[in-house]
Structure 1
Amino acid sequence: MFTVTEVVSVDRPIAEVFDFVGDARNRPQWDSSVISEELTSPEPIDVGSTIHTRMKAVGREVEFDWRVLQHEPPTGMTVTSTSGPMETTLHFELTGTDASTVVRATIEASPTGLMKFVEPMISEAVRSNLATGLTRVKVILEGRPA
């Protein structure tokens, strides 16, 4: 099992940042590994909501299904995989004000089978992708009119 955490500061109100990162349908805009992500349960997004993701990982297309475990606007959200190539949990923790927000994103994953042999490479790829994605969140949100 590995855990990676990345942090970014966004010059936007906490509610706006949560609305963006907390809506799975926005993820393809900021996470380059995601081909598509859709809500597979009725709106609004809340604890128990389900999400389906198609993504590129380690050179191939994979699919994950997720369930929302925690949804506490505007300060946190946790989703965990219910199917996919490995058990994975993604947690967002937001702190901030009406002017700026710190986003702390943590991914925990448990590779199994042959993936255990390349776990350090998977971990680094996940960390790098998360860092790049959070930087993209910052660029997108700070580029919007206030």
Structure 2
Amino acid sequence: MPAITTSVDVDRPAAGVFSYATDPAHFNEWQQGVVSGSMGTPGSLQLGSLCLTTRRIGLRNRTGTAVVTRLEVPTAWSVRGTDGPIRANVDLTVEPLGADRSRVSIAVDFEGHGIGALLVPLVVRRQARREMPGNLAALKRRLEGRRDPTAG
């Protein structure tokens, strides 16, 4: 199946949009189910850096690890899940539409391992397809509502 792709136009410059949208510390501000996020590799963001995201799944919190596989600041960022029964593969692009406007596109796909192989087609893809438009709408609201979208 093809990846689930959603886009939104944001009234913000590409550099600030990219910085905010790729910082796992902000994921809980705009992604449903995310409790917290952080970089698992000290130092600046680079290829091979680890990204840790804790999500609320059912009644439990589960932390997943992903590795940064593409990094083209300020236009492209990709991560690939490395653990757990459901591993997300995420590609984010930011396209400048002028000095103060950008288009954010996120494509997400999943790999199921063990029980995840059953859950991905039955539950996970449907849930992601429902959540993605709301997540990008929340991202737009957060970015456009901040004086400096890169500030914590």
TM-score normalised by length of structure 1: 0.89
- 1:54 aligned onto 2:29: no
* 8 Å CA contact retained: 1:2, 1:109: no
Does 2:32 match 1:32?
yes
Q: 2 CA distance for matches of 1:31 and 1:116? A: 23
Distance 2:40 2:134 in 1: 27
2:125 paired with 1:123: yes
Distance in 2, Cα, partners of 1:130 & 1:59: 22
SS class of match (1:141) = helix
CA contact (8 A) 1:36 1:54 kept: yes
| Cα offsets for 1:102-132 (capped at 9, x unmatched) | 0110011122444444414321211222221
* Residue in 1 that maps onto 2:136: 134
Q: 1:117 to 1:59 in 2, by over 3 A?
A: farther
TM-score (norm 2): 0.86
- CA distance in structure 2 between the partners assigned to 1:50 and 1:145 by the alignment: 29
- Work out the CA distance in 2 between the residues paired with 1:62 and 1:128: 21
Mean CA deviation greater in 80-89 or 135-144: 80-89
Superimposed CA distance per residue, residues 31-72 of structure 1 (whole angstroms, 9 cap, x where no aligned partner)? 121111111111211111111111023564322111101111
| Pairs within 5 Å for 1:96-115 | 96=96, 97-115=98-116
Residues 67-78 of structure 1 mapped to structure 2, 5 A cutoff: 67-78=67-78
User: 1: CA distance between counterparts of 2:12 and 2:18?
Assistant: 10
Kept in 1, the 8 Å contact 2:84–2:113? The answer is no
SS of 2:26's partner is helix
* CA distance in structure 2 between the aligned counterparts of 1:30 and 1:103, rounded to whole angstroms: 13
SS of 1:17 mapped into structure 2: helix
Which amino acid in the other structure matches residue 102 of structure 1? R
How many Å separate the matches in 2 of 1:72 and 1:78?
9
1:9 aligns with 2:4: no
